[in-house]
């Protein structure tokens, strides 16, 4: 990946840099993976990155939107995603968010509990509309990813247990302001082993057999998101293997006639187009360790502190041949403000530009103002 270093020199650090050409190539690769199949639909999971320029480009590419809050529905609408392509998930939808979604006439609520189903029915009744709903089902699949980002196990807070699915669907079909559309799943994030998606498909097949046995017709199957990216070698794998991912479902998922399949990809769409750029403030030589102290901290990129996530760190300035082992840390007054420990990289000095690669997903959007720090800026490729 090429960076406009001269442009970076004039900027106040830290900031996010987005390469829109990489984003465009990623969007096109995802679209090519589904283009043969009329009933396969791509949504973008808004929560991964809501930078308005990024959202605009994704909406222009014809993606739908997967939202998990009222604020995200507003952001999606403002970026031009049609309401008819918006789905709304989340375990704790507030009344105002449900009302907003009903007024906007979004395409589907992904309902995560029976009490929520009743609230949606009541609020839809007030507006004299019927709400399209799908049930989020917990398929009890271990996605073999970080425990904090796995969502498909019975112990997680998400969705309705498989054994309660048939009664939930019957309940939905009995309510006057609810229109039952289908099933929704999302088993976790940063999943690189497609066998988890094969297992998900088989589980969906079993659930569909149960619904068939009750003569319940289901028009849509939403398999969620979760496709991972290569954080270790971003330049070798800038574009995720969407073909392999989609083909896993093609091979394993048994659809009924007329069924639509929805995907909700977040990370795999935006991770590789974004980089956090910061500067070295100080090099500190401790007795046992050398530290690089940056002007970026977990307020700018929280994934390492929160999930022990790895981001490839590159010094964009130095030409030094000598390699040193560093702990790379931020300025925040918390000992968890560490990006990486014992990392070998070319010798750095005060003022060098440091890049955190693959930071386009769950980066800028998770920034905070802890320690009264300003939120990071963003700049876009030309």
Ligand X SMILES: *Cc1c(COP(=O)(O)O)cnc(C)c1O
* Contacting residue, 139, 224, 363, 376, with ligand X by CB under 6 A: 224
| Smallest gap from residue 27 Cβ to ligand X (A) | 14
Give 38-107 as a 3 state SS string.
CCEEEEEEHHHCCCHHHHHHHHHCCCEEEECCHHHHHHHHHCCCCHHHEEECCCCCCHHHHHHHHHHCCC
Q: Do residues 41 and 261 touch, judged by C-beta distance below 8 A?
A: yes
Tell me: does residue 186 bind ligand X (CB under 6 A): yes
Cβ closer to ligand X: 224 or 274?
224
203 is an annotated ligand-binding site residue:
no
| Smallest gap from residue 343 Cβ to ligand X (A) | 25
Distance separating alpha carbons of residues 88 and 108, to the nearest angstrom: 6
266 is an annotated ligand-binding site residue:
yes
| Smallest gap from residue 89 Cβ to ligand X (A) | 4
Tell me: does residue 141 bind ligand X (CB under 6 A): no
Site string for ligand X, 44-83 (x = CB under 6 A): -x-xx-----------------x-x---------------
Cβ closer to ligand X: 268 or 315?
268
Cβ closer to ligand X: 292 or 367?
367
Tell me: does residue 363 bind ligand X (CB under 6 A): no
Q: How many residues bind ligand X (CB under 6 A)?
A: 17
126 is an annotated ligand-binding site residue:
no
Cβ closer to ligand X: 69 or 378?
69
| Smallest gap from residue 331 Cβ to ligand X (A) | 29
Which residues does residue 111 pair with via DSSP β-bridges, in sequence order? 135
Tell me: does residue 264 bind ligand X (CB under 6 A): yes
Tell me: does residue 152 bind ligand X (CB under 6 A): no
* Contacting residue, 152, 234, 240, 266, with ligand X by CB under 6 A: 266
In Å, how far are 136, 161, 300, 319, 330 from 281, measured between CA atoms?
47, 50, 16, 18, 9
Phi, psi of 50 (to 5 degrees): -115, 20
Q: Do residues 280 and 226 touch, judged by C-beta distance below 8 A?
A: no
Tell me: does residue 89 bind ligand X (CB under 6 A): yes
| Smallest gap from residue 31 Cβ to ligand X (A) | 16
Q: Do residues 367 and 279 touch, judged by C-beta distance below 8 A?
A: no
334 is an annotated ligand-binding site residue:
yes
Cβ closer to ligand X: 68 or 328?
68
Distance separating alpha carbons of residues 86 and 69, to the nearest angstrom: 12
Question: Which sign does the torsion angle of CA 169, 118, 65, 370 carry?
Answer: negative
Cβ closer to ligand X: 14 or 224?
224
Q: Quick check: helix, strand or coil at residue 218?
A: coil
Tell me: does residue 359 bind ligand X (CB under 6 A): no
362 is an annotated ligand-binding site residue:
yes
370 is an annotated ligand-binding site residue:
no
Q: Counting beta carbons within 10 angstroms of the beta carbon of residue 274, is it exposed (0 to 12), middle (13 to 18) or buried (19 or more)? A: buried
How many Cα atoms sit within 13 Å of 58 on the Cβ side?
A: 34
Tell me: does residue 189 bind ligand X (CB under 6 A): yes
| Smallest gap from residue 320 Cβ to ligand X (A) | 36
Contacts of 163 (CB under 8 A, 6+ apart): none
Q: Which two tokens stand for residue 379?
A: 């700049």
| Smallest gap from residue 360 Cβ to ligand X (A) | 11
Catalytic residues: 333
Tell me: does residue 230 bind ligand X (CB under 6 A): no
Q: Quick check: helix, strand or coil at residue 182?
A: strand
Cβ closer to ligand X: 225 or 297?
225
Distance separating alpha carbons of residues 3 and 20, to the nearest angstrom: 12
Q: Give binding residues for pyridoxal 5'-phosphate as ranges.
A: 226, 264-267, 362
List interacting residues with ligand X (CB under 6 A).
45, 47-48, 66, 68, 89, 186, 189, 224-227, 264-268
């Amino acid at each position: 990946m090429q960076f406009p270093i001269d442009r970076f020199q004039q900027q106040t650090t830290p900031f996010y840099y987005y390469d829109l050409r990489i984003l465009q190539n990623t969007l096109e690769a995802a679209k090519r993976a589904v283009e043969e199949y009329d009933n396969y639909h791509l949504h973008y999971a808004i929560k991964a990155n809501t930078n308005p320029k990024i959202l605009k480009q994704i909406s222009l590419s014809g993606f739908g939107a997967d939202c998990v809050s009222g604020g995200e529905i507003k952001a999606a609408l403002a970026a031009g995603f049609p309401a008819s392509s918006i789905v709304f998930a989340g375990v704790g939808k507030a009344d105002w968010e449900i009302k907003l979604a009903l007024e906007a006439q979004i395409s589907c609520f992904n309902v995560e509990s029976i009490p929520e189903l009743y609230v949606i029915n009541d609020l839809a009744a007030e507006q004299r509309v019927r709400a399209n709903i799908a049930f989020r089902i917990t398929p009890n699949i271990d996605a073999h990813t970080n425990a904090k980002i796995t969502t498909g196990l019975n112990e997680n807070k998400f969705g309705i247990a498989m054994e309660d699915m048939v009664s939930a669907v019957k309940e939905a079909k009995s309510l006057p302001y609810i229109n039952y559309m289908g099933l929704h799943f999302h088993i976790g994030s940063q999943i690189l082993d497609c066998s988890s998606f094969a297992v998900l498909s088989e589980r969906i097949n079993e659930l569909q057999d149960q619904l068939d046995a009750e003569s319940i017709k289901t028009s849509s199957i939403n398999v969620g998101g979760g496709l991972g990216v290569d954080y270790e070698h971003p330049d070798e794998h800038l574009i995720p293997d969407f073909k392999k991912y989609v083909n896993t479902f093609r091979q394993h998922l048994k659809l009924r006639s007329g069924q639509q399949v929805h995907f909700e990809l977040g990370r795999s769409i935006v991770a590789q187009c974004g980089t956090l750029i910061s500067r070295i403030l100080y090099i500190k030589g401790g007795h046992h360790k050398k530290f690089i102290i940056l002007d970026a901290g977990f307020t700018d990129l929280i994934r390492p502190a929160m999930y022990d996530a790895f981001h490839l760190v590159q010094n964009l300035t130095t030409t030094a041949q000598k390699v040193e082992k560093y702990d790379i840390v931020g300025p925040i007054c918390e000992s968890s403000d560490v990006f990486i420990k014992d990392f070998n990289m070319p010798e750095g000095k005060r003022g060098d530009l440091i890049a955190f690669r693959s930071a386009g997903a769950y980066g800028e959007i998770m920034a905070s103002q802890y320690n009264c720090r300003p939120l990071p800026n963003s700049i876009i490729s030309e």
